[in-house]
A and B are shown apart, each in its own frame.
Chain A
Amino acid sequence: MAGARLAGFLMIAAAAFAPPASQAATPPNMLVIGTDLSLPTLDPAALNARTVSEAVSNLYDNLVQIPPDDLQTVRPMLAESWEVSPDKRSITMTMREGATFASGNPVTALDAAWTIQRVIKLGQVGATDIAAWGFTPENVDSLVKAVDERTLTIDLPEPVSPDLVLYSLAGSSLGIIDRQTALEHEVHGDLARDWLKGNAAPSGAFTLQQYRPNDIFIAQARDDYWDGEPAMQRVIMRHIPESGSLRLQIEAGDVDVGHYVASNDLAAFAESDEVTIQNVPGFGFYYVALNMKDPDLQKPLVRQAFQHMMDWEALSRSSMRFYGFPWQSIVPKGMAGAPEEMTTKFNFDPERAKELLAEAGYPNGLRKTLYPAGAAHLENAEAFQASARLAGVELNLVPGEHVPDFRARTFEVYMGNSGARLPDPFATAMHYAFNPDNRDEANLGGYYLWRVAQEAPELLDLVERSKTETDPQARAEMFAQMEAHYQTMDPALIVFFQRTDPYVVRNEVKGYQGHPAWSTRWAKVTKE
């Protein structure tokens, strides 16, 4: 009798608490993205990572945009048109008529000027791109001005290719902010920096509904958006740090798009006919860095030996299958000056590496410490450790987060990857070919070539000239010369792969296109 009562109670409880079955699919007007939501701020001026860049790109429109399928063409956005002065020192932009912020305020040239001035004055990470052209907190107010509500002028402080400036204006850190709304929340002259960390004053197709770091980001479509109301009424980014769990949710249809999916799960998705993997090329490389402050690594023959120690073909079939493709150039594939095909100068040849080491005075091999940039590089570092051993080089692998060691030149051998947001070879050249002062006290940790302590005067000169050259043909030739020089030197930064960012997208989602500069926009996304 008691057993029957218990069974009855359990049945009633089960009925009451019976959870709804998991969703067969997300609703047709909602896009769900599974990602890593460790976003310390939503302020465009302080962006430093891929996910936050995508989120911000949908809250804030830029003056101009670069479509993901045509990176060389700058297209209008909040600026309807623009003109470059004959001396190429000034850009005049005409603002779009009828564009409004989510608050209802019209988007004016005043807002655009304030946004650019703000980025420079705050000097946060977002300033990195545009500050390179000579803008400073002292000069920006006089150089970037609203002539009237619809006319913006940008005078360039030094001779720079206007194309580079336009590319910068398309970057997610230069999303146009509603000045009036932001200033209502300004505290102690902070230009609303604190408020914009977790709030938004958006000009884009979506407005911020809810945001909890490490948990959830919800964007609501604007029905008054100048380019028409988006089909997706809500876009939800959910923090799903475990790749296996994310994979199950994509397969079940609870998540439409997945970022940061692990290699083994991507391999499984590659066999699926329900999803597509977009391998979006990025503007950066995977490399092995050799510190030339180390007397052994200073020897060209030793660096040459290292060029033959990485079994990159094997890696391209395993851990790098979705995260990069073999590329041995400092100019990204497809860009001006890049080689048509990859050279195979750095072929895997442990016997040759042994000979070179013996010639350099190390017949019994070499022992060095290998630092991976972080946990994400551990698998590659282990593979490199194994393949280097075949050449007689014993690499003592020290796991951990070693970016600070790299920046401070306190490493021996380092493995990492780079990223850049500017769709121009100049951006990668700044990392791999620019070291204006190799002294320790110069402390130029922002430049990779300084980090490895390699001087390359020919490259330095080419980088500086490519910044100011405005003729596209002449610029392309300069990058081709950089590339040619890289092939002749024994680099301390040995590039093996060009970076790709994999996005897993369910097939019913149309129009979601991962952007190489991480400014993927959702306004035209639909679902079948």
Chain B
Amino acid sequence: MVTAAIARQGWGISPGGYRRLFGRVFSVAVTLLGLLLLTFSMGRLLPADPVLTVTGAEVDRETYERVYRELGLDRPVWEQFATYVGNVLTGDFGRSTTTGHSVASDLLTVFPATMELAIVAILCGVLLGVPLGIVAAVNRGRLIDHVARIVGLAGYSIPIFWLGLMALFVFYAKLQLVGASGRVEVFYEGMVTPVTGLLLLDSAMDGQWDVFRSAFAHIILPGAILGYYSVAYISRMTRSFMLEQLSQEYVIAARAKGVPRRQVVWRHAFKNIRVQLVTIIALTFGGLLDGAVLIETVFAWPGLGQYLTRGLQFNDMNVVMGAVLVTGILFLTINTISDRLYRILDPRTR
């Protein structure tokens, strides 16, 4: 459906489109530069010393000064920033002092892990949130509506860190249904060559079903918990959109004509809220990618969130700036795509 709509509307650039495109690219570039400048400034204000991350606290003066120079900290701050931006434009994000690797290669490793977690989370969120919102709207004021609200409220108010540990205690320690740390059981480490970086996909493509099952056992709990936190938002928005549609005249008319209730809800009302849902889900997905920090710590998930946390903890500014930049690019991309989809799916907004 979406593909057909895109095909009909096309991605071709109209004569005035080039100016708009240039404006868009310019605004994205300025936004990203501002983001980098902000992060860089904050890094300089933090009461921490990146040299000691490399050397340890008991380092002698000569070693300290050499590492200080090696990290480029002896140069003026503006020069450090200008050099960094110049390097980023060539794909060089610098080297991480906590992993010893180039930040670009680290990001290529950690980003797919977070992406995979976020995909599972959004699937859980959508599969639970959308039906819950619809059922709540259809049964407005009834018990199920209250239950849906409580489920949503809990998603807002229970600390994710605590819920993660409790879930581990029940499903891992007591019931032994899921794995605990990392993306896969230790025995299977290194058995699948990364292609997409998404372990479920890579192991399935490789026909390594044991690894697939282990990866599934490890992702399902953090994915479900992370997804649960999006349920609150998705279900609330779905309920609101549905209520709006259900009060429309065409729905009342359909009901009056004797169209079955299920048909009215799914074929008429739901069809009309899909566009809004796409936007909500896209934005929630962006939030999941960004907000996996705590869940990645609890489940020792080697993703972007944990990478960024370690970077902040050890004042590894190349890591912090690289991760922030990737997150920024991601948000802008998701915003652009959802905006575009909205325009394609709903001709009235063009």
User: Residues of A at under 8 Å CB distance from B?
Assistant: 17-23, 26-27, 30, 32, 34, 38-41, 46, 48-49, 123-125, 127-128, 131, 197-198, 209-210, 212-216, 218, 236, 238-242, 244-245, 248-249, 251-252, 254, 373, 400-407, 418-420, 431, 443-446
Contacts and interface: CB of A to CB of B under 8 A. Distances in A.
Given A32-B186, A249-B180, A419 B58 contact: yes
16 contacts: A19-B179, A22-B172, A38-B98, A40-B53, A40-B54, A123-B63, A215-B302, A218-B189, A236-B186, A241-B297, A244-B298, A254-B180, A254-B181, A401-B48, A403-B57, A446-B64
Given A215-B302, A238-B300, A252-B180, A127 B189 contact: no
A183 to B, nearest CB: 20
Contact of A19 (B49, B97, B220, B306): B220
A49 B96 CA distance: 17
Nearest to A252: B173
Given A22-B172, A128-B59, A248-B169, A242 B214 contact: no
B271 interface: no
A214 B55 contact: no
Interface stretch (B81-89, B307-315, B331-339): B307-315
Contacts of A239: 181-182, 300, 302
Size bin of chain B's contact surface: 35 or more
Nearest to B173: A248
Among A22, A49, A198, A403, which residue has the most Cβ atoms of chain B within 10 A? A22
Interface in B68-108: 96-101, 106
B270 interface: no
B264 interface: no
Contacts of A252: 172-173, 176, 180
B180 A128 contact: no
B298 A245 contact: yes
Interface in B225-283: none
A241 B181 CA distance: 10
Contacts of A22: 172, 176-180, 217
Contacts of A407: 49, 52, 57
A240 B214 CA distance: 18
A20 B189 contact: no
B101 A198 contact: yes
A248 B98 CA distance: 27
Given A19-B177, A19-B217, A248-B168, 9 more contacts: A19-B179, A20-B213, A22-B180, A48-B54, A49-B56, A209-B190, A216-B189, A218-B190, A445-B64
B182 A238 contact: yes
Interface of B: 47-49, 52-64, 66, 96-101, 106, 109, 165, 168-169, 172-173, 176-182, 185-187, 189-190, 213-214, 216-217, 220, 297-300, 302, 306-307, 310, 314-315
Contacts of A406: 57
A213 B57 contact: no
A21 B182 contact: no
A446 B49 contact: no
B38 to A, nearest CB: 20
Contacts of A420: 58
B101 A48 contact: no
A413 to B, nearest CB: 16
Contact of B300 (A32, A213, A241, A402): A241
A406 B52 CA distance: 12
B236 to A, nearest CB: 26
Contacts of B214: 19-20
B179 A214 contact: no
A244 B172 CA distance: 13
Contact of B63 (A30, A124, A245, A401): A124
Contact of B47 (A18, A254, A402, A418): A402
A49 B55 CA distance: 9
Nearest to A47: B56
Given A21-B177, A404-B48, A210 B190 contact: yes
A251 B61 contact: no
Of the candidates B48, B109, B299, the one having the most CB atoms from chain A within 10 angstroms of its own CB is B48
A145 to B, nearest CB: 25
Contacts of B213: 17-20
A198 B98 CA distance: 12
B101 A418 contact: no
Contact of A17 (B48, B63, B187, B216): B216
